[in-house]
Amino acid sequence: MIRTIIIEDEQDAREHIKLLIASNCPDVEIVGEAHNVKSGIEIINKKEPKLVLMDILLPDGTGFDLLNSLESINFNIVFVTAYREYAVEAFKFSAIHYLLKPIMPDDLISAIKKANERLIRQNIETRLKSLFYNLQSNTNGSKKVVLTTGTNLYVINSEEIVMCKSEKSHTEFYISDGRVITVFKTIKDFDDLLSGYGFFRVHKQYLININHITSFDKTGAGQVHMTGDHVIPVSFRKREQLLELFINL
């Protein structure tokens, strides 16, 4: 059983979450509840949960205040939030799981499953640091992106990513310092995430950072030359779009 705590200031919301869990998540055991930062810290230290479902806005602070008050974080986290737009985007970049209110059963099941599959003890704090940075950042120029491989976790500034290359079921990230990081997700996941931060899908196999383009051969083979001497093909139907991007730089 997954020992779970709910931290939510509204009694009705806590009851709703408990009902959804009882109906849909047989492996989850609710071992405690809290309604604010102070009681949340106390119940976490007392019960030592494996999973915490946590609202962000609490009467005496935020869920982030609570986490920053703990000596260590050795449990999985799913934030429950009414935030949308930029805050939700920050969660996505940081690979921290979240649920938007009102909570839907399928979303709850998926978030709990992902949290317990992928948020392991040794990288939760790194993910949270990335989340805090992205929440505090007001610029669209760069974001910290969490890349998880089979054995390691990397936090990379988006501006340092030269390009992404699709290789069947995984994606290779080429970093400006020469590293290549392989992530077992499809390139489409990162196309959706990075498209607003200077990245452009020039080919079904390549997603590039236009800030790392050194030259573009708009005739003939239609190739872009990138930082690190990478030469990338541009599909015929993407050439005009890429030229428009250059004009608007």
What phi and psi, each to the nearest 5 degrees, are found at residue 171?
A: -130, 135
The model's confidence at residue 139, banded by pLDDT at 50, 70 and 90, is low
In the block, which residue shows the tokens 């200031």?
9
- Are the CB atoms for 86 and 105 separated by under 8 Å? no
Q: How far is CA 147 from CA 64, 78, 90, in A?
A: 22, 19, 14
Cis peptide before 26 (omega within 30 of 0): no
Segment 193-200 shows an average pLDDT of 85
All domains in the chain, ordered by first residue: 2-135 (3.40.50.2300), 147-248 (2.40.50.1020)
Residue 24, both tokens: 């849909």
In the block, which residue shows the tokens 């929440």?
135
What phi and psi, each to the nearest 5 degrees, are found at residue 54?
A: -130, 125
Q: Which residues contact 58 (CB under 8 A, 6 or more apart)?
A: 7, 9, 35, 36, 37, 40, 65, 66
Residue 156, both tokens: 């990379």
pLDDT score for 248: 61
pLDDT at 60 over 70: yes
Sheet of 213-217, strands arranged across: 213-217, 223-226, 230-233
Over residues 143-170, the pLDDT tens digits come to 888 888 877 888 899 999 999 999 878 9
Under DSSP, the state recorded for 234 is: -
List the single range of 120-124, 149-153, 174-178, 183-187 with lowest mean pLDDT: 120-124
pLDDT score for 121: 45
Closest Cα to residue 109, out of 17, 7, 14, 10?
A: 17
